[in-house]
Structure 1
Amino acid sequence: MKRKYLYLLIGSIILPTLLILLCNLVIEIAARGRTYSEISEIKKNKVGLVLGTSKKLTDGSPNPYYTFRIHATVQLYEAGKIKFVLVSGDNGSIYYNEPTAFKNDLVALGIPEESIFLDYAGFRTLDSMVRAKEVFGLSEVTVISQEFHNERAIYIAQKKGLYAVGFNARDIKGSQGFKVQFREYFARVKVFLDLLLNTQPKFYGEKIEIK
């Protein structure tokens, strides 16, 4: 009976935990040396790809992840590290439009409207990275998000034939940050499931040249 409970423990807790940790480690190693927090250290790239998120939290307060990605994008542009911005996010309904929200705030902070391109079908990080290559014709890109998100995006890009580096927007501490980081462990497992199943973006569409 004790052996039965031991096998149950291994199968239901230990093995899944090891799998989660392994997926996390593989992605961390793949992105090592390819994420940057200092403007002076990152190379120039034609396009900065900012990964979308909601502007407001569910309680109506500002989303700091959004705010910090906006600031990081402006930093890169003003430093001449990127020439164009590609905003990739969810535009799932007339009431929710991540790319347009980003664009409006980036323009308000001084980035010319003609330097900003919008990907309205970036429903997931996988979609954003694949579409950057297949729809927008990019061979390399600077991803702009928090470090944990950049690492996952870089790994996906690598597997899809797109060379990516990441510029790390400021991260969030405390309980809010912990919740997001905790979910990230499971998002990284989903990366490997998507690769195994050859999951494709929800939409492709006509090619758009950034120039």
Structure 2
Amino acid sequence: MLDEIAEELGIESFVCYNGQYVIFEGEVILKKPLPQESLERLIQTATENEHPIVFSASDTLRVNLPDHPGVREGMTSIKREYPKVDANYYHGRNIYQCLLFCEENYDAFYSDNFPQYRFMRWHDVSVDVCPSDGSKARGIRDMIQKLGFSMEDTYAFGDGLNDIDMLKEVGCGVAMGNAREELKAVADHVTDSVSEDGIMKGLKQIGLL
């Protein structure tokens, strides 16, 4: 998902998958895949509830159920096609994050039954599934340690509930205008919606442009 924009802008360093996979100047400096045993149980439970899962590896995505409206809505919102179907894609492969497609009223159910994971909602139809100690903030800490910066020197923009930890920890956190109120409450600044040049306006607002 990053290849095209990375090539255009010459970016070689990334914090990916809510901090579970971090690349610094083309070199992987952090890999924290999901444990296979608990992933098996999560897949079984989600399948029983007819909740699809998208498996996110280092190079691509696969989904375990075909033609699900929630998956289609979520992937369309990030301008991606429906992933190829492979229910066994996680076998023998490092999976750094899953996208679990379910309504918000299921969040507490999954959190209570799978304490080894964090379920962070990024869309009305989906949550990110990460290790319990995983977050974008952690990935940023690993990146800036490599760079020799401090957290006070960092800036971040976010629009989902999975951005709360990140905006709290960076030196300056900016919530998009389309963000949930819970995220805006912890941000240092609020800019316009992502569809209304919110990033550019936010960069000007905080003095970086």
TM > 0.5 fold call: no
Greater relative contact order, per chain length (Cα 8 Å cut-off, separation 6+): 1
Which is higher, the Rg of structure 1 or of structure 2? Answer: 1
**Larger fraction in helix:** 1
- The TM-score normalised by the length of structure 2 is 0.29
**Larger fraction in strand:** 2
- The TM-score normalised by the length of structure 1 is 0.29
